[in-house]
Every structure is written in structure tokens, then in C-alpha cells.
Amino acid sequence: MKGETALKLSDGREFTLVSGFRAFVIAEKNYGAPIDKVQEDAQAGYLGAGVTIFHAMLAVRHPEISIDEAGEILVAEREAVLVAISEAAANGAPKAKAEGRKPGNGASAGTSSGRSGAKPASIRKPSGTKRSAPSR
């Protein structure tokens, strides 16, 4: 999953924000927590988490930008940055297929394997058990 979008600042500078695996790894490393926690804290209004996510999205294509510079950009250009972050995230989200698949959480009914390849628990056979020979 990888999404990109352009960010043009009022001073004429242009950047590319990237939402994807590499940005997630950078954010986790800089924040010291799993990406879910970083995102949760950012949504709750923690400025450090928000700057960390923005910096990580910048750092993929613009490694020369420090986290302090990212914070300054975020403060000065808040609306443009928030729009770009949302667009990059949306561009990286999986799209529903044209053949009638509806957007959702990816869960489906039936016996097919899930995204990980594992069968749903309701049809999976217990592992590690051997069938014993019939008793006589």
C-alpha cells in the first residue's frame, strides 16, 4: 500500500508526500511506538505524533527535511498539509474492483482464504493432530 500526493507551499516550495510502508517504519522509529499508536495519538490531537507522521511522509522523498523543519511547515501551512496527508493516505488505500466488489473491511463470506492465505476459523482443521487408526 503506497500513496503519493504533491504538496505546494505558499512560498513556492514543492514536496511529495508518501504514505506507505517506508513512511510507517520511519514514523514508528521516530515516535518509538507502533504505527497504530502514532496514528491514534495524532487523531487525538498530540502534536508530536502529527509532526512525526508528516515528517515520515516527507522523509521518503525528501530526507534532507528535519523533523523541526517539518513542524515549522505544518504550523505555517496547516490546511494544505492536512489536505495533502489525507490525499496521500487515500491514494494508498486499496480500491474496490470494478466487477461489483463493494468497499468495506475486506471480510467476505464463504470458504475462500483471506488476505493472509489462512482459512477462516470455521472451516480450518485443527493443526498438529494426527488421525488415529479406527479402534477394533
Mean per-residue pLDDT for 46-62? Answer: 96
CA distances from 33 to 19, 29, 47, 89 (A): 17, 7, 15, 20
User: pLDDT higher for 125 or 70?
Assistant: 70
Q: Which of 99, 79, 103, 71 lies closest to 90 in space, CA to CA?
A: 103
From CA 115, how far away is CA 96, in angstroms rounded? Answer: 14
What residues contact 135, with CB distance under 8 A and at least 6 apart?
none
CB 3 within 8 A of CB 84: no
From CA 132, how far away is CA 135, in angstroms rounded? Answer: 8
pLDDT in tens, 15-47: 999 999 999 999 999 999 999 999 999 999 999
Q: Which of 77, 78, 88 lies closest to 12 in space, CA to CA?
A: 77
Mean per-residue pLDDT for 51-71? Answer: 97
From CA 100, how far away is CA 1, in angstroms rounded? Answer: 22
pLDDT of res. 70: 97
- Residue 1, burial from CB neighbour count under 10 angstroms (0-12, 13-18, 19+): exposed
pLDDT in tens, 70-120: 999 999 999 999 999 999 989 887 664 444 444 444 444 444 444 545 545
pLDDT of res. 93: 73
